Amino acid sequence: MGFFKIFKPIVLPLKRRRDIFRLLRAVRKPDVKIVVGASDIFDKGWVPTDMEFLNLLKEGDWKNYFKPDMISAILAEHVWEHLTPEQGELAATHCFKYLKPGGHLRIAIPDGNHPKPEYIEHVRIGGSGPGAYDHKVLYTYKTLGAMLQRVGFEVKLLEYFDETGTFHENSWKSEDGHIRRSKNNDKRNAGGELNYTSLIVDAVKP
């Protein structure tokens, strides 16, 4: 423990430099795919980012690494619920600006129309689930879709519950952004019951 306390101030900057170097190397390639709020969870071909060097709300951070119309895809799994509605729209505006035409922002967030009361208690603002103390908003497919359309995106709904508690899904590929908290990938749904799903959309830049 003493060793860790001594070297913690050194270890963290080294990790940050590694992540920044990885991003700088990736932007030299024609196909740039990034994960925001990654926490070191990412798949091959994707580059993780952290708010310490790519804050979704600060355009100066975006300008440090990207030019407009440069990014092929952005993946954000359970990030937007930690932003206020105003912050979420600003973050989406930055994503829109730096995505290529035809590029997409894949968002997965807690689903405000999920029919299970225990799920809603888990994910609501100030809910009982991990990280829910910091949740700022609970979107539905309508409220999220409307926000993304205001920014200029075309919205493709991938997984969501409607107002009647009916689940809808459209086929999507993990290579376009793997979502772990989804119908088929979350182990809590192993018995066939949809105990934990996300509202998943692709926001496509025309």
Residue 98: the pLDDT is 98
Q: What angle do CA 201, 205, 206 make, to 5 degrees?
A: 120
What does the alpha-carbon distance between residue 106 and residue 202 come to, in Å, rounded to a whole number? Answer: 4
pLDDT-based confidence at residue 87 (cuts at 50, 70, 90): very high
Residue 70: the pLDDT is 97
pLDDT digits (tens, 9 = 90+) for 93-133: 999 999 999 999 999 999 999 999 999 999 999 999 999 99
Find the range with the poorest average confidence among 4-18, 106-120, 175-189, 190-204. 4-18
What does the alpha-carbon distance between residue 98 and residue 58 come to, in Å, rounded to a whole number? Answer: 13
Strand partners, 105: 74, 203
Q: Which residue has the higher pLDDT, 147 or 37?
A: 147
pLDDT-based confidence at residue 202 (cuts at 50, 70, 90): very high
pLDDT-based confidence at residue 39 (cuts at 50, 70, 90): low
How much is the average pLDDT of 82-97? Answer: 98
Place of tokens 């795919």: 33
CATH class assigned to 2-204 = alpha beta
Find the range with the poorest average confidence among 29-38, 121-130, 151-160, 195-204. 29-38
Residue 14: the pLDDT is 74
Sorted by sequence, the CB contacts under 8 Å of residue 47 that are 6+ apart come out as: 22, 23, 26, 32, 33, 34, 35
Residue 5: the pLDDT is 38
Q: Is the pLDDT of residue 19 over 90?
A: no
